[in-house]
A and B are shown apart, each in its own frame.
Chain A
Amino acid sequence: MVLSQIKNGKVKIVGFLGGRHFLRKMSALGILIGDVVEVIANTGHGPVIIGKGSLRIAIGFGMASKIVVEEVKDEKNSNSR
């Protein structure tokens, strides 16, 4: 699954398919592989907004489809907040 397909809820980031700049930008913003993030807003064709802790990051739709994620069973494992 990729991030752009997720409408809401929590997901775990498994990998990035983008180039060097993309990777760097994500890690500069504090989003790393293995992090659990929450999808705050995703209208399906605009940007995707994700949240990690109190951090909110908007990702262009093209980029959001390059982030590979897997679903997270709620409660446990959610170190996002």
Chain B
Amino acid sequence: MKKIAIAGNPNSGKSTIFNNLTGENQRVGNWPGVTVEKFEGKFSYKDEEFYVVDLPGTYGLSSFSIDERIAREYLIKENPDVIVLVVDSTNIERHFYLLTELLEMGKNVVLCLNMTDLAEEKGTFIDENILSKILKIGVVKTVGNKNIGTDKLKEIIYETSKNKREDFLRIDYGKEIEDFFENLKKEIEIPEYLPERWTLVKIFSKDEEIINLLKIKKEIIEKIDKISNFHGFSDAENFIIEKKYGFIRGILKECVYERKKLWKRLEISDKVDKVITNPWIGLPIFLIIMLTIFEIIFGIGNPLQELIDKFISFLSSSLNFLLKNLFPPFLLSFLTDGILGGIGSVIVFIPNIFLLFFLISILEDSGYMARIAFTMDRFMHYIGLHGKSFIPLILAFGCNVPAILATRTIESKRDRIITVMIIPLISCSARLPIYILFCSAFFKNYQGIVVFSLYLIGIILSITFAKILSKTIFRKKEEIPLIMELPPYRKPAIRWCLKMGILRTKVFIIKAGRVIFSASLIIWLLASLPPSSTYGSENTILGKIGSFIAPIFSLAGFGRWEIAVSLLAGIVAKETVVATLGVIFGSENLIDSLKNIFTPISAYSFMLMSLIYIPCIATMAAIKNEIGVKYLLITIIYTILLGWIIAVIFYQSVNLFI
């Protein structure tokens, strides 16, 4: 089997080419050690089978960003048989930069001139035969979203895979640099697996990874600086970049013809951008779009969620009824509450998560996603984040889990971690039943205001924490400039979006499902052992843990084991707090029992605790998936502490004044 890697800039349409090549034959995973999605697939052509990897979209192969490091590590270590470079034909000059890097590596490249229909519509014609002759590589024209040129591409991949490329591209960097290369070759030893020419160029560009790897001496760096400074470049890499673009422009002169045509699509796109960058119009439009997404996810998702919930409890009660006489009660409870409940708590998330991923794909594909970062940028900068963090925070009001998954659209790792860590402070819809229960018991006439105040406190806390985190542990070393390519708007390809939604949902369910399921089982076990005791009672392990930790909560006004147990059970899912209280006190006179235990003040302090303390298991699983165990532990600890501190401060200070 031959190995193929697909490379290309972001927005070059490489994922569509990947889809066209592999069809249904693909799966998603992660690149080792990072949460960047890795798409793999297979196809066969004639007598050969091909394994295809879609590399992350990159502009070059430097060591600056995670994406570029992943791509280049794969190219060097795995050394694929053929690399398909997908370029946007409407923007060929910029996209050819990556080509020069690949050819300097001496890679077996097939050049895929994508979106040629758009280019021709705009008046840009490329002669692929001349290009192929100059560069000595296979060149194919394709229109990815219409699946044009796929067979030709397969044919050329097949042919290219038969013979290895012998030579590598030598751009003439001028006498001084070439002399420098010659001397350098004598001084250092370049390991076998690193392509020589490419490595030399990288050393001159002062690529940190390569310089550290080969232990390049200070004197050599100084020499590099001297050469580039002499030519008026403050940075050596820019000297190289300039030379590369010179080379590219030379080639393009030979094979690209421009004819003036109407740039209709671009004109419309520009007009829309003129309007959207105006904050007075752009912001409301953005909010309306966010609101629509929110409505779709939770308006369609939540009823479906309830349906699944009902179905699970129907299954569980019918199982209970059918097997009542066959199984001992403990085993029966294990089957229904434990196993079935555990599975239920996983699949209940499918509708919301699928809708989220589907809608995000639409935003990405239509080109609007790139604009969002700018619309909210000013405000988010104030709390030390990027405009893109705004979407997850809004989604968090519905459910924290999809919100955490939505942080994947944030490129900066630092911003992603901060955003994930503050999401649990936003009050999700599962916390509402707790507020409703306590409000109907204690704040009958002020329900609206009380619930609103809790949401507001969540927002204020999350903003405060974002600010604190970005000023302390996550201090920026250098401000990352906000510069982004804006793809022209286009009609999103619904089929592709559906496919992305399904694929990403599948990955989440498989990965997070295990955590959610096993954690639900553990809580169930704690709440029902020893077998003779009733679920969640004082004699169970959970009850004992509850009695043990209850005194901690007495400072906050609710130091009783029942309450501690309900908070512990709430770790499964926040709405379980209400259910557990119902089990312990009996659902009929729950409100009266609560009135005996709580005062309005301690009730509010309990609601504060419920708002802030650890997110539910599903949220924890999502946090672990996205940013790792370390930050999950930090989040768990800080939310518990913060919840307790705020509840105590509230309870004590109000009691002091009244």
Binding site for B on A (CB under 8 A): 18-30, 32, 40-43, 45-47, 49, 51, 53-60, 62-63
B270 touches A26 (CB 8 A): no
B263 touches A54 (CB 8 A): yes
Chain B positions within 8 Å of A59 at CB level: 481-483
A29 touches B94 (CB 8 A): yes
B484 lies within 8 A of chain A by Cβ:
yes
A41 touches B274 (CB 8 A): yes
Contact partner, A28, options B59, B266, B371, B479, Cβ 8 Å: B59
B167 lies within 8 A of chain A by Cβ:
no
12 contacting pairs across A/B (C-beta < 8 A): A23-B238, A29-B59, A30-B93, A46-B277, A46-B374, A54-B266, A55-B91, A56-B270, A57-B485, A58-B374, A59-B481, A63-B482
Chain A positions within 8 Å of B188 at CB level: none
B273 touches A22 (CB 8 A): no
B269 lies within 8 A of chain A by Cβ:
yes
B483 touches A58 (CB 8 A): yes
Contact partner, A27, options B91, B238, B278, B377, Cβ 8 Å: B238
Q: Contacts A27-B241, A46-B374, A60-B377; is A21 near B278 (CB within 8 Å)?
A: no
B122 touches A47 (CB 8 A): no
CA distance A5 to B59 in the complex (A): 29
Could you tell me the dominant secondary structure of chain B's interface residues?
helix
Chain B positions within 8 Å of A26 at CB level: 483
A46 touches B485 (CB 8 A): no
Contact partner, B270, options A27, A40, A57, Cβ 8 Å: A40
- Chain B 47-78 per-residue mask, 1 if CB under 8 angstroms from chain A, else 0: 00000000000011010100000000000000
Chain B positions within 8 Å of A47 at CB level: 277, 374, 377, 482
Chain B positions within 8 Å of A62 at CB level: 479, 481-482
Chain A positions within 8 Å of B172 at CB level: none
Shortest distance from the beta carbon of B7 to any chain A beta carbon, whole Å: 14
A41 touches B270 (CB 8 A): yes
Going nearest first, the 3 A-B pairs with the smallest beta carbon separation are A30-B94, A60-B482, A28-B59
Shortest distance from the beta carbon of B321 to any chain A beta carbon, whole Å: 61
Chain A positions within 8 Å of B483 at CB level: 22, 25-26, 29, 57-60, 63
Closest to A30 in B: B94
Chain A positions within 8 Å of B62 at CB level: 24
Chain B positions within 8 Å of A43 at CB level: 277-279
CA distance A42 to B478 in the complex (A): 25
Chain A positions within 8 Å of B351 at CB level: none
Closest to A20 in B: B235
Shortest distance from the beta carbon of A10 to any chain B beta carbon, whole Å: 14
Chain B positions within 8 Å of A55 at CB level: 91, 94, 485
Chain A positions within 8 Å of B482 at CB level: 47, 58-60, 62-63
B13 lies within 8 A of chain A by Cβ:
no
Closest to A29 in B: B485
Chain B positions within 8 Å of A22 at CB level: 481, 483
Chain A positions within 8 Å of B242 at CB level: 27, 32
